[in-house]
Structure 1
Amino acid sequence: MSEVVTSPVKNKVGSIFIPVRNIEQSREWYCRLLGLPTDCPIMNGHLCPLPMDGTGLILDTMPMWGGNEPGGAPNLKTPAFMLVTDDLQVSYEFAKTNNINIVTDIQYDHWFIIKDPDENMLMICRQ
């Protein structure tokens, strides 16, 4: 039996950072994808917290982590989280209709992968 260790770190994810190159264009793309108003504030010139239900998403040009380099901060080459939907087929059709880069077809009637303009991989998953 393993011992439970007391820790000051909570077992709760606060927010997920998504590396982007152009904060304004990324804000517009993510707000359209998520059905959010496009007036989310940009903080300190490089952060844009999106109003989410549950765990937060923060778009970030990541100046401390390569964002000031010519190629920008490294993108997410594998899905690091999933966005949920009640209707997978309608979400897939929405992606097609809105010219979102679709990486996979619907897999196992449960999920598919898209890329944002910075080629970050994002999973859309049936709830």
Structure 2
Amino acid sequence: MNQQKQTKEENDTQTSPIKNKVGSIFVPVRDIEKSRSWYCQVLGLKEADCSIMNGHLCPLPMVGTGIILDTMPMWGGDQPGGAPSIDTPAFMLLTEDLKGSLEFMKKIGAELVTEIEHDHWFVVKDPDGNKLMICAE
């Protein structure tokens, strides 16, 4: 009993080698080229700056935490329906012009999930049905 208690205390004080830092966020997509075009349009990026790697990955040049579009062949992307979409926003994209961002998303034909909520955010779907939150900075 004493040895078990000591081991638990040692585990509680052990420092984790895992950093308190997010490297990149993976977004499951079905058509990597179509998704790259859509995200480049939304984020104001040039497609030429967003290379498709290994036929299924497309890292997007972001400020801060990265976004990687991925057809996810190891995680269901090779199935008829593809990898499951993100059904609950897992991250937010920031804007200094929330109303202008909503109008832009409407103009490009993005599917709206919500209008502006609490004067702070709204949610849209990307072409693969992933829900994305756009939030005032």
Whether the TM-score (by the shorter chain) exceeds 0.5 is: yes
Q: Using a 3 Å threshold, how does the CA distance of structure 1 residues 6 and 42 change in structure 2: closer, same or farther?
A: same
Q: Which amino acid aligns with 1:106?
A: I
Residues 1-127 of structure 1 correspond to what in structure 2 (within 5 A)? 5-39=14-48, 40-127=50-137
Q: How far off its partner does 1:38 sit?
A: 1.1
Deviation of the 1:5 alpha carbon: 4.1
Q: Supply the distance in 2 between the matched residues of 1:115 and 1:31 (Cα, whole angstroms).
A: 15
Larger CA deviation: 3-12 vs 73-82: 3-12
Structure 2: distance between partners of 1:4 and 1:94: 50
| Runs of 5+ consecutive residues of structure 2 not aligned to the other structure | 1-11
Q: Give the Å deviation of 1:4.
A: 5.6
Counterpart CA distance in 1 for 2:66 and 2:14 is 27
Whichever structure has more helix as a proportion of its residues is: 2
What is the deviation of 1:9? 0.4
Structure 1 length-normalised TM: 0.96
How many pairs were matched up? 125
> Rg bigger for which structure?
2
Secondary structure at 1:24's aligned position in 2? Answer: helix
Q: 1:14-39: per-residue Cα shift (whole Å, max 9, x none)?
A: 00000000000000000000000012
Structure 1 gap segments, 5+ residues each: none
Q: CA RMSD in A?
A: 0.9
State the percentage of identical aligned residues. Answer: 66
Runs of 4+ in 1 over 3 A off after TM superposition: none
Give the corresponding residue for 2:9: none
Counterpart CA distance in 2 for 1:97 and 1:46 is 28
